[in-house]
């Protein structure tokens, strides 16, 4: 059962974590916030804003409890919202004592490297978090537009409808509208794949392909997502809904999309390392492309766009050569 007095904790120090704190802070009496950087915590305590991400967003310091001890925030929170890149999640919570009795909400768009697991499976199999205590936040929504208070929509997915409604209610405000779903696995896998297809969009933009081709690319991308989801988690879902198609569109086209930006740099000839250094932000799609490879292969689904991105990033194939090969697979 969900209690209106549940204490909320946000784990992560990046843009999306900062945006989630902004959404929550007007709807709850206080927000617990964990980040690894002690200097960032001290800065927020003194100045009321994150020094590194969405620094224009200011917070009421009286409503914030800041932590650098993962177990302290777990102890003092009932609903924990995770917003940490999937590639770093294991290290971030490696010293956690456990999550017994806690509700876990994932705002992570990735697969655990080396585990071949999305976040729902990871918390269930490694930490014993039952499905009824788990939820997923999905877009389409960029943190930068939350900071600007531009109208945005979120979907909260959980097989526990009460938990989904609770979290949806606490994230809603005058510029943020929410809906609920029970498709945890579909929204998680779709969120992983849309970052990879945003890389493809960026690569093609960097190579000089225009809007006409981008429309064809993304039309084919949503079909790949549909086929994959129907194979790995076959339930009735509307792939045209905002949690699937909408999230793909905003990530593939938006100026705020770090995955599109990363792909654009690869298309222009940057190496992976140089693109990562210049961005100074994590493009989840880069890690997800490798982490989901075995799942894609086991599914047996024909996914030529995904394969092209994998070959470019991990087999070091020429972006232009791979996209030229891809052209005959699109319709």
Take residue 22 and report the two structure tokens written for it: 């902004």
The whole-angstrom separation of Cα 181 and Cα 136 is 9
Residue among 41, 24, 28, 251 at smallest CA distance from 138: 251
Q: State the residue for tokens 């960029």.
A: 142
Tell me the β-bridge partners of 176: 152, 173
Q: State the residue for tokens 């995955």.
A: 259
Residue 164 DSSP SS3: helix
Take residue 91 and report the two structure tokens written for it: 């290290």
194 has catalytic annotation: yes
Give DSSP secondary structure letters for 74-95: HHT-SEEEE-S-HHHHHHHTTT
Give DSSP secondary structure letters for 48-63: SS-SSSSTT----GGG
Q: State the residue for tokens 């039952």.
A: 130
Residue among 114, 102, 296 at smallest CA distance from 192: 296
* Contact predicate 6/79, CB 8 Å: yes
Residues 6+ apart with CB under 8 A from 165: 2, 156, 180
Report phi then psi at 118, rounded to 5: -75, 175
Tell me the β-bridge partners of 90: none
Catalytic residue among 102, 109, 170, 194: 194
Residue among 215, 187, 225 at smallest CA distance from 108: 187
Nearest-10 crossing angle of helices 284-291, 184-206:
110
Instruction: List the helix and strand counts (H, then E) for the chain.
Output: 16, 10
Active site residues: 194
């Amino acid at each position: 059962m969900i209690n209106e007095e549940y204490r909320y904790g946000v784990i992560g120090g990046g843009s999306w974590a900062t945006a989630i704190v902004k959404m929550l802070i007007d709807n709850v009496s206080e927000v617990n916030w964990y980040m690894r950087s002690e200097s960032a915590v001290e800065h927020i305590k003194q100045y009321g804003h994150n020094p590194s991400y969405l620094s224009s967003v200011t917070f009421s310091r009286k409503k914030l409890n800041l932590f650098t001890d993962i177990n302290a925030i777990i102890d003092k929170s009932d609903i924990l919202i995770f917003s940490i890149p999937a590639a770093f999640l294991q290290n971030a919570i490696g010293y956690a004592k456990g999550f017994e009795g806690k509700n876990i909400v994932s705002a992570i768009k990735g697969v655990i490297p080396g585990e071949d697991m999305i976040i729902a499976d990871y918390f269930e199999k490694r930490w014993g978090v039952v499905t009824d205590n788990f939820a997923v936040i999905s877009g389409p929504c960029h943190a930068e537009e939350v900071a600007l208070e531009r109208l945005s929509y979120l979907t909260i997915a959980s097989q526990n409808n009460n938990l989904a409604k609770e979290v949806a209610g606490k994230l809603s405000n005058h510029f943020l509208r929410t809906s609920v779903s029970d498709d945890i696995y579909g929204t998680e896998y779709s969120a992983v794949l849309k970052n990879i297809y945003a890389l493809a969009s960026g690569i093609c933009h960097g190579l000089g392909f225009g809007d006409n081709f981008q429309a064809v690319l993304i039309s084919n991308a949503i079909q790949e997502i549909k086929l994959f989801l129907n194979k790995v988690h076959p339930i009735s879902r509307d792939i045209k809904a905002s949690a699937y198609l909408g999230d793909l569109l905003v990530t593939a086209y938006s100026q705020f999309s770090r995955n599109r930006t990363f792909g654009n740099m690869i298309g222009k000839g940057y190496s992976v390392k140089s693109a990562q250094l210049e961005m100074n932000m994590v493009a989840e799609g880069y890690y997800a492309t490798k982490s989901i490879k075995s799942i894609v292969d086991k599914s047996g689904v024909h996914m030529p766009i995904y394969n092209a991105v994998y070959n470019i990033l991990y087999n070091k194939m020429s972006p232009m050569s791979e996209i030229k090969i891809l052209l005959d697979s699109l319709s």
